[in-house]
Chain A
Amino acid sequence: MANEEKVGLAGTKMQGCQYNLWASDPMTAKAPQITPAQLEQRLDVIFSKLNNLNGAEAFEYTRLLPIFIFGPPGIGKSQIVESLGRKYNVNVETYIASTMDPTQVQGLPFPNVKNKTTEWFPDQRWVSSKTEKRTMVYFFDELNMAPPATQAAFYRLILEGRLGSIDISHALRIGAGNRISDYYNVQQMGLPLATRFEIYVMRPDIKDWISWAKKKGLNRYVIEYAEYVLSTEPLNGNPNEPDRWYCINPNEPSLARATPRSWERVSQLLNIGLDTKEDIIGALGVYPGMAFESWYRSKLDEENKSKKTNIEYKGRGF
Chain B
Amino acid sequence: MYPKPINVYVNDRPVPVSTEDFGKYRSVIIDGINAQIKYVYNRAKEKFMAPVSTEIRIGSYTVKTNLKGGLKFDPSGEVYIDDPAFLEALRSLFNDIAALMLIYHRTDEFLSMLQTPELWALLVFVAADEELTDMFTQAELEFFNSTWKKTGNTKEVEMRESIIEMLLALRNGQSYDLSRLKLYDDQGKPVKLTGKLEPY
B89 & A315 in contact (Cβ 8 Å cutoff): yes
What are the interface flags for B2-14 relative to A under an 8 Å C-beta threshold, 1 for contact and 0 otherwise? 0000111111100
Closest to A318 in B: B85
CA distance A307 to B7 in the complex (A): 21
Given A318-B86, A318-B88, A318-B89: A313 in contact with B11 (beta carbons within 8 A): no
A-chain residues with CB within 8 Å of residue B49 when the two chains form the complex? none
Check B120 for interface membership: any CB of A closer than 8 A: no
Looking at chain A's contact residues, the main secondary structure is loop
Q: A312 contacts B9, CB within 8 Å?
A: yes
Q: Which of B26-66 touch A at CB < 8 Å?
A: 28-29, 31-33, 35-36, 39-40, 43, 47
Chain B residues touching A, majority SS? helix
Give Cα A217–Cα B36 distance, bound, in whole angstroms.
37
Interface centre among B6, B33, B35, B36 (most CB of A within 10 A): B36
Q: B200 — which chain A residues lie within 8 A by C-beta?
A: none
**Residues of chain A contacted by B33 (CB below 8 angstroms):** 313, 315
CB <8 Å contact, A316 and B89 = yes
Question: Which size bracket describes the interface of B in this complex?
Answer: 20 to 34
Q: Are B28 and A315 in contact (CB under 8 A)?
A: no
Interface size class of A (residues with CB under 8 A): 10 to 19
A315-B29 contact given A307-B11, A310-B10, CB 8 Å threshold: no
Which residues on B are within 8 Å of A, measured CB to CB? 6-12, 25, 28-29, 31-33, 35-36, 39-40, 43, 47, 83, 85-86, 88-89, 92-93
- Residues of A at the B interface (CB closer than 8 Å) are 307, 309-318
A to B CB contacts below 8 Å, 23 in the list: A307-B11, A309-B11, A310-B9, A310-B11, A311-B28, A312-B9, A313-B6, A313-B8, A313-B28, A313-B29, A313-B31, A313-B32, A314-B9, A315-B32, A315-B33, A315-B35, A315-B40, A315-B93, A316-B89, A317-B39, A317-B85, A318-B47, A318-B86
